[in-house]
Amino acid sequence: MLPVLQIGPAAIQLPGLLLIAGVWLGSLLAERQARRLGLSGDGIERLILVALVAGVLGARLGYAVRFLEVYARDPLALLALTPVTLAPEVGVAIGLIAAWVYGQRRRMPFWLTVDAMAPGVAAFAVCLALAHLASGDAFGAPTGVPWAIVLWGMPRHPSQIYELLAALVVLVLVLRLHPGAPFPGFAFGALVAFSAAARLVLDAFRGDSVMWFGTLRAAQVISLAILLGSLAVLRRLTQPSADAGS
Partner 1 sequence: MYGLSGARGRLLMAAVFVLGSAWILATRPAEGGVTSGAIPSPREGFAAPEVDLERLNGDRVRLSDLRGQVVVLNVWASWCPPCRAEMPALQALHEHRAGQGVVVLGVNSTVQDSEQAARDFASEYGLTFPIALDRDGEATRLYQVRALPSTFFIDQQGIIRRVVVGGPLNPSVLETTVLDLLGEGG
Q: Nearest distance from residue 45's CB to partner 1, in Å? A: 31
Residue 39 C-alpha from the chain's centroid = 23
Contact between 59 and partner 1 by CB under 8 A: the answer reads no
Closest CA to 204 of 128, 141, 148: 141
**Residue 215 or 246 having the CB closest to partner 1:** 215
Whether 45 contacts 29, CB under 8 Å = no
Contact between 155 and partner 1 by CB under 8 A: the answer reads no
Binder of partner 1 out of 24, 106, 169, 208 (CB under 8 A): 208
CA pseudo-torsion sign 49, 124, 27, 179:
negative
Contact between 24 and partner 1 by CB under 8 A: the answer reads no
Contact between 228 and partner 1 by CB under 8 A: the answer reads yes
Long-range contacts of 172-176 (CB under 8 A, 24+ apart): 174/118, 174/119, 174/122, 175/119, 175/122
**Residue 102 or 205 having the CB closest to partner 1:** 205
Q: Which of residues 64-103 bind partner 1 (CB under 8 A)?
A: 66-67, 70-71, 74, 77, 80-82, 84-85
Q: Nearest distance from residue 208's CB to partner 1, in Å? A: 5
**Residue 112 or 151 having the CB closest to partner 1:** 151
CB-based contacts of 111: which residues, under 8 Å, 6+ apart?
184, 185, 188, 237, 244, 245, 246
Binder of partner 1 out of 17, 100, 148, 238 (CB under 8 A): 238
Whether 245 contacts 113, CB under 8 Å = no
Q: Nearest distance from residue 142's CB to partner 1, in Å? A: 7
Closest CA to 133 of 221, 6, 18: 18
- What radius of gyration do the chain's Cα atoms show? 20
Q: Nearest distance from residue 48's CB to partner 1, in Å? A: 27
Binder of partner 1 out of 28, 56, 161, 204 (CB under 8 A): 204
Interface with partner 1: number of residues (CB under 8 A): 48
- Which listed range, 32-40, 100-108, 161-169, 215-223, lies at the site for partner 1 (CB under 8 A)? 215-223
Distance between CA 170 and CA 36 in Å, rounded?
20
Whether 115 contacts 184, CB under 8 Å = yes
Residues near partner 1 (CB under 8 A) are 3-4, 6, 11, 13, 63, 66-67, 70-71, 74, 77, 80-82, 84-85, 136, 141-142, 152-154, 182-183, 186, 200-201, 204, 206-209, 211, 215-217, 220-221, 224, 227-228, 231-232, 234-235, 238-239
